[in-house]
A and B are shown apart, each in its own frame.
Chain A
Amino acid sequence: MKKRFPFFSLSVLTAIVVSCLACSAIMTKNPLYMDLAHCNEAPGKEFLFGTDAMGRDIFSMIWYGGRISLTIGFLATLFSTILAVFAGSVSGCAPARIDGVLMGMTELFLSVPGLLLTVFLQAVFVRTNVYSLSVVIGLTGWMSMAKVVRTEVMQLKNMDYVLAARCLGGGFFHVLIRHLAPNFFPSVLFMAVMNVRNAIVAEATLSFMGLGLPVEEVSWGSMLSLSENAFLSGSWWIILIPGAFLTGTLLCLTNLGNYMRGSANKRHSNLGRQGILKIKKR
């Protein structure tokens, strides 16, 4: 299968990101204003996507809240990537014993289910805000990337140019940034895109369950936390619209990530007719 560049995904994603960043130009209402005269209003001319149980305009909240969801996705990934690159490269360069301890810790973090780890860490911060939530999500998302970085570093560290750089007196960080990082960058990039996706899902899930951002702080997840009321009043737009935006963003990110993963098998399968033809040609 030839991989085509995902133009469509990229443009949709860009559109969402740009409109979220420029939300003040797009919003038709104040997303925080609770218009109690218009609760649970269906999508219409005045409220393009309807209003929620607290009378807030969903169309405006989508862009305003999307900014927070995307920010958390980005910040958490930044944090977990730095952590993963550091842990992975230290572990890859260090002697076997330290490597064992570090990898043991990674395994340990991997063995606690993500939700419980997040809830525990969440409890350490007294007040939840965008930054603390990003840190918590970042702290739960670095492990598998650290493993990949470690494997790459272990292969790279015995290369002649790395040896040369170290003989010339290059310190750990110099070697890491100048020589190692450019080499493992592609595989990290793919995982980073996937981490953005995971972080957005994590934020949405936590906020939805009432363990993340409070309802007053608008994000795609906390908008969905009002869904129980929506079932009772039958207002489908409260559930469908934020979820559709969330899923669309995740889908675009996945397509981009898959493209970055590099090309798939280029050889022909031996199963089909081509296989037989190949034998004949030989």
Chain B
Amino acid sequence: MRKLCISKILYNMGKFALRVFALSVLVFLISRLAPGDPLYAYYGERVEKMSVADQEQARERLGLHEPLFTQYARWLQAAFHGDFGISYQYKTDVKEVIAARIGNTLVLGGLGFLLIFVFALGLGLFCAWREDRTADRIICRIGTVTSCVPEFWLSLLFLLVFAVWLDWLPGSGAYSVGEEGNVADRAAHLILPLAVVVLGHLWYYAFQVRNRLLEEVRADYVLLARMKGLSGRQVLFRHCLRGALPSYLSMMAVALPHILGGTYVVETVFSYPGIGTLAYESARYQDYNILMVVSLLTGTLVIFCNLLAGIVSGRIDPRMRIQNGAGGGEVRNF
């Protein structure tokens, strides 16, 4: 029994390592095949003034002249030592650039995830409880509309209304100049991006909860519970919710990286100094070292969460197979 457990853990760890390795190869290959010249990103306009010999020398110093395989091996070796190279654009260690911003993204994405987690469950429960009544129908209509609005346009809309027209909330950055430590100021800057993140994802998950509960409500044990004399609401909260919870938990485990990664566009529109804005800038300036690390970070998180969701749902309910992404109408998280 114990042996089985250990082999299972080893199996999952191996799977995880293999996937991360494949991911790193993919990311590395694409980044090196891309035509933009990293030399240009590092030296900017000065490249044009350099002589050919100087360019060759610079290339050699940055290790850009070797064959792809050697470059990958060197990169991997360095990565194991925690060295991901320097950012061509910022001219400093990639780790430093990312470390300075990752906190902001985690706050935005983490808070967004928590809010979505709570609200989706609540909204789904409410809709399932009032199935086909007016309240449910209205919420479903509004939900469908909100899930259709592209995130970037919702951000623009909020900016236009709350920051430009009404001037209630600040529209860009994570804090006002010189107010770095001021929590209230940071919170005010967080409201609009957070609202967009939550609104953009909420209905997709709430609708899944609702549908899952509606299936649950049609099971025969509900009839039994009703005959015992429990009210509809009691059955829903005590029995049906418990039946739907495992699949909700595994769904949200898969959702975590999506929501964290889904903040990218929002961050860019609100010029919120996080990983998303960084990725966007790096993409524009062809700073591939940063893009690679950002992709690796998010990709690893996705792989980890998927594995976790599979294990969790298998633990709680062996019948359940995680069908990640097979749900169909999922919104692509940009």
Binding site for B on A (CB under 8 A): 1, 104, 107-108, 110-117, 119-121, 123-124, 126, 140-141, 143-144, 147-148, 151, 187, 190-191, 194, 197-198, 201-202, 204-205, 208-211, 224, 227, 231, 234, 236, 239-240, 243, 246-247, 250-251, 254-255, 257-258, 261, 264-265, 267-272, 275-276, 278-279
Contacts and interface: CB of A to CB of B under 8 A. Distances in A.
Nearest to A144: B325
Nearest to A147: B326
B302 A272 contact: no
B298 A112 contact: yes
B264 A115 contact: yes
A198 B286 contact: no
B258 to A, nearest CB: 8
29 contacts: A1-B132, A104-B19, A104-B22, A110-B302, A112-B295, A112-B298, A113-B261, A113-B295, A114-B332, A115-B279, A123-B30, A123-B35, A140-B332, A141-B332, A144-B330, A151-B326, A194-B330, A204-B150, A224-B153, A243-B157, A247-B145, A250-B148, A254-B329, A261-B329, A264-B214, A270-B219, A270-B226, A271-B129, A276-B226
Instruction: Say which size band chain B's interface belongs to.
Output: 35 or more
5 closest cross-chain pairs (CB), A and B: A123-B34, A144-B325, A270-B222, A111-B302, A113-B261
Contact of B328 (A148, A251, A267, A279): A148
B279 A148 contact: no
Interface string B284-300: 10100001001100110
B153 A113 contact: no
Interface in B285-334: 286, 291, 294-295, 298-299, 302-303, 306, 323-334
A124 B30 contact: yes
B201 to A, nearest CB: 14
A227 B334 contact: no
Chain B interface helix/strand/loop/mixed: helix
B26 A224 contact: no
A211 B303 contact: no
Given A111-B23, A113-B261, A113-B264, A239 B160 contact: yes
Contact of A205 (B31, B145, B151, B236): B151
Contacts of B19: 104, 107-108, 111
